[in-house]
Amino acid sequence: MSRKKAVAVRLKQARFSILHRSPELDAFVDQFLSTVCDTSRRSILELLATPNDNDPSIHIELRSGEIAEELGLSSATTSEHLRQLANLHMVTTRKQGTAVYYCLSNHLLVQAFLDLLRTLEQYYQKQLS
C-alpha cells in the first residue's frame, strides 16, 4: 500500500473514531480537563498521588486541613477544590470520628494525567533550550 493511501486510511479511521464518540464521553472529557486545569486542583491530585515511602501499594490519605497547609490554601478554598474533585470521582473520602480523609479514587486516570504533565514539562523545557 502506498504511503498516501495508508495516510488516507488512518485519517478515515481517526475521523470515524472522533465522530462516533458519545456526547456523554465528550462532556466527561471537557469536565475532566476543566477541573484538572486549575492549578490548585492539579496540585491536590499531585499531592495525593505521592507514593508512600514505606509501602507504595498503600495510597496516601490526607485531611482537608493538611492539604490546605501543604499547598498554602485556605480551608474553604481547599474544601471547594476537593468537592469538585469528588464530584468527578477523582478523590474519595473516609471518615474516622470527626476527621474526613481524602485519597485518590481513580489512580489510573490520575497517573495518565501525571504522565501528561511530565511530558508537557519535558516539552516545555526543550522549547526553552
d(CA 52, CA 58): 6
List the CATH code of the domain at 22-128. Answer: 1.10.10.10
Asked if residue 69 lies in contact with residue 62, where contact means CB atoms within 8 angstroms, the answer is: no
Query: Would the pLDDT of 68 be above 90?
Result: yes
Parse the chain into domains and list their residue ranges: 22-128
Give residue 1's pLDDT band: very low, low, confident or very high (50, 70, 90): low
Average pLDDT over residues 27-43: 92
How many CB atoms within 10 Å of residue 48? 22
Our CA dihedral for 46, 115, 52, 108, rounded to 10 degrees, sits at: 100
Cell (9 digits) for 102: 481524602
User: Per-residue pLDDT tens for 39-49?
Assistant: 999 999 999 99
pTM: 0.77
pLDDT at position 3, please?
74
d(CA 98, CA 110): 28
Query: Would the pLDDT of 14 be above 70?
Result: no
Give residue 11's pLDDT band: very low, low, confident or very high (50, 70, 90): low
Share of the chain above pLDDT 70, in %: 85
Q: How far is CA 75 from CA 38, 59, 82, 93, 96, in A?
A: 17, 22, 10, 16, 19
Task: Look up residue 53 and give its amino acid.
Answer: D
pLDDT at position 58, please?
74
